[in-house]
């Protein structure tokens, strides 16, 4: 994802944190409880602001999608799992996360963030930790925890939803799909090819556009 200037990053951060707090209230999370949860994630903003903002967007997407669908996924768990899914990137050097070009070696190092996130959260937020560990298991070239190691079906389902939202936000951000209209067809095709088992989720995300 492209670099965010400090000024722009600050305004975007405030807006996204506000939107996440609104989503938390709508999901039944007391404001003070969600503020404490955000405090857990804020070190990532200092380490790599793009990853932090991406996580907030993914959490909002996932929570809204969970609330809109009949998939028996908790909007609260989707919000928290989505927001925290990249917390393991605190263990990845910022120089690697910002590398351009982003090559094979950078991908190898970054792949460790799923298990690192699980380890960071497992003792205090175990369900969110499992989602962080699982979220890359449903995409091409999967890594991290694998679905067969988790018995709780709702956690697996939530991690899968977060995975779809993670891919969606990364692709939209990278390709400016909603400012360059011709890219929306590419987005639809890539999403359909990557997640053929979830046409409803894909359609909902594309129809509802980016978090503003």
User: For position 6, what pLDDT does the model report?
Assistant: 43
User: For position 191, what pLDDT does the model report?
Assistant: 94
Cis link prior to 168 (omega < 30° from 0)?
Answer: no
Answer whether residue 33 shows pLDDT above 90: yes
User: Using CA of residue 205, residue 206, residue 208, residue 211, what is the dihedral sign?
Assistant: positive
The tokens for 164 are: 């779809």
**Residue predicted with more confidence, 72 or 138:** 138
Report how far residue 137's alpha carbon sits from residue 150's, in angstroms, rounded to the nearest whole number.
12
User: For position 2, what pLDDT does the model report?
Assistant: 36
* pLDDT, tens digit, 9 for 90 and up, residues 189-203: 999 999 999 999 999
202: number of Cβ within 10 Å: 22
User: For position 72, what pLDDT does the model report?
Assistant: 82
pLDDT, averaged across the chain: 90
CB 65 within 8 A of CB 204: yes
CATH architecture, domain 6-208: Orthogonal Bundle (1.10)
Answer whether residue 10 shows pLDDT above 70: no
| Predicted TM-score (pTM) of this structure | 0.92
Pick from 182, 178, 176, 174: nearest CA to 208? 178
Report how far residue 171's alpha carbon sits from residue 95's, in angstroms, rounded to the nearest whole number.
21
DSSP single-letter state for residue 180: S
Q: Tell me the domain boundaries of the chain.
A: 6-208
For the chain, give the percent of residues with pLDDT over 70: 91
Choice among 68-72, 83-87, 138-142 with the minimum mean pLDDT: 68-72
How much is the CA Rg of the chain, to the nearest whole Å? Answer: 16
* pLDDT, tens digit, 9 for 90 and up, residues 80-107: 999 999 999 999 999 999 988 889 999 9
The tokens for 212 are: 């503003």
């Amino acid at each position: 994802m492209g670099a965010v200037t400090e000024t722009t990053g600050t305004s975007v951060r405030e807006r996204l944190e506000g939107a996440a707090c609104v989503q938390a209230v709508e999901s039944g999370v007391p404001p003070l409880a969600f503020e404490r949860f955000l405090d857990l994630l804020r070190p990532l903003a200092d380490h790599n602001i793009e990853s932090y903002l991406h996580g907030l967007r993914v959490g909002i997407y996932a929570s809204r999608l969970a609330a809109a669908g009949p998939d028996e996924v908790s909007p609260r768990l989707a919000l928290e799992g989505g927001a925290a899914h990249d917390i393991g990137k605190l263990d990845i050097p910022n120089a690697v996360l910002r590398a351009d070009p982003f090559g094979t070696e950078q991908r190898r190092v970054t792949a460790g963030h799923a298990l690192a996130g699980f380890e960071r959260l497992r003792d205090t937020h175990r369900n969110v930790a499992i989602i962080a560990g699982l979220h890359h298991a449903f995409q091409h070239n999967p890594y991290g925890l694998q679905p067969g190691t988790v018995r709780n079906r709702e956690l697996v389902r939530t991690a899968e939803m977060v995975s779809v939202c993670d891919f969606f936000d990364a692709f939209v951000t990278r390709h400016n799909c909603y400012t360059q209209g011709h890219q929306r067809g590419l987005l639809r095709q890539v999403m359909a090819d990557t997640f053929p088992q979830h046409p409803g989720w894909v359609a909902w995300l594309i129809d509802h556009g980016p978090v503003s």
